[in-house]
Chain A
Amino acid sequence: MITVSINGESRQFPQAISVAVLIDELGLTGKRIALERNGEIVPRSMFAAQQLADGDKLEVVVAVGGG
């Protein structure tokens, strides 16, 4: 069991999963997003290779209207 924080919300997963699997679980596969893990950018090309670890802090962002 691992616990990770996604955009400030705590989520638990039965085992360590890749970023790609997480993105799929969130329904964001194919969406234009960017992801930061513990303060570092994870490039989209690395989503499949990077495994999440217990205690990870993730930020998943999109573009919105702004001035």
Chain B
Amino acid sequence: MNDKLIIAGKSYSSRLLVGTGKYKDFAETQAAVEASGAEIITIAIRRSNIGQNPNEPSLLEVLPPSKYTLLPNTAGCYTADDAVRTLRLARELLDGHTLVKLEVLGDPQSLYPNMIETIAAAKTLVAEGFQVMVYTSDDPIIARQLEDLGCVAIMPLASLIGSGMGILNPWNLQLVMERVQVPVIVDAGVGTASDAAIAMELGCDGVLMNTAIAAAQQPVLMAGAMKKAVEAGRDAYLAGRMPKKFYSASPSSPTAGIIGSTRS
């Protein structure tokens, strides 16, 4: 079936995007990413540990840009300026790579996005030629503005980052999807496979997750579960579910030809 996720003109077979944080080691990161089937994986940009064993392996040796579409993020940034600087560094680090994940956080407890700073950063980044996938609140008006600014994917939260609370407001996700043309990817809040399936059944174009896999008791097994859930949810969306009815006057088996009663 030719059902591709298209972001900024490039098509992807997998609609599951995964993060690479919180794993116990690179081997587990690699195994989980592999099991997830994800083609787009997020990475963070951080200060090099000056003076500390420069020969330790690097993430990009385990997850090479030749095999995956790397999506550098701005996690931990609380201002537009810090986010823009971080992504300029990422572009230099990845040899001119322009597809990025913008997130500007509002407070360290909730990790809820600061949309005023996010919009300011998006304007600058788009003007500088970045292809911006943007983490956002599930506000449909803001989502539309981000698309109008030139963002290539809108990524609303389903619940707070790292919370695993699932899809708290499917109605707002619906409003967002109805108002933007670019892909809508649920980013944050997925806790288990059914959450991912629900997001896809709603019609989301993809799901991005990290903690739901990394913090599972068996991350590699969960990565595989998420792959299936995203595929199942997408197929269910495309298939078109039956309407919900409180009860049905139409049983699944024929009503004619039932054997006769022996009671008189």
Contacts and interface: CB of A to CB of B under 8 A. Distances in A.
Q: Does B associate with A?
A: yes
Interface of A: 6-9, 26-28, 31-36, 39, 41, 43-44, 59-67
Contact of B90 (A9, A34, A44, A59): A34
Interface in B53-76: 54, 58-60, 70, 72-73, 75
Contact of A67 (B21, B85, B94): B21
Interface residues of B, number: 36
B60 A7 contact: no
A56 B29 CA distance: 36
Contact of A60 (B50, B60, B85, B211): B50
Given A34-B90, A43-B92, A63-B72, A26 B47 contact: no
A59 B21 contact: no
15 contacts: A27-B51, A28-B48, A33-B48, A36-B88, A36-B89, A43-B92, A59-B47, A60-B47, A61-B46, A63-B93, A64-B44, A64-B45, A64-B59, A65-B22, A66-B210
A65 B89 contact: no
A32 B93 contact: yes
Contact of A63 (B45, B51, B209): B45
B54 A31 contact: yes
Nearest to A29: B54
Which of B46, B50, B210 has most chain A Cβ within 10 Å? Answer: B50
Nearest to A27: B54
Most chain B CB within 10 A, of A8, A32, A60, is at: A32
Find the residue from B22, B46, B70 having the highest chain A CB count within 10 A: B46
B42 interface: yes
A66 B42 contact: yes
Chain B binding site: helix, strand, loop or mixed by DSSP?
A: mixed
Interface of B: 19-23, 29, 42-48, 50-51, 54, 58-60, 70, 72-73, 75, 85, 88-90, 92-94, 161-162, 209-211, 214
A66 B47 contact: no
A61 B89 contact: yes
Given A41-B89, A41-B92, A67 B73 contact: yes
Contacts of B209: 67
Contacts of B161: 67
Nearest to B96: A43
By Cβ-Cβ distance, the 5 closest A-B pairs, closest first, are A66-B44, A67-B210, A67-B19, A27-B54, A34-B93
A63 B58 contact: yes
Nearest to A59: B47
Nearest to B188: A67
A63 B60 contact: yes
Nearest to B43: A63
B145 to A, nearest CB: 25
B61 to A, nearest CB: 9
Given A36-B89, A61-B93, A67 B29 contact: no
Given A9-B50, A34-B89, A34-B90, A61 B29 contact: no
Contacts of A62: 45-48, 58-59, 93
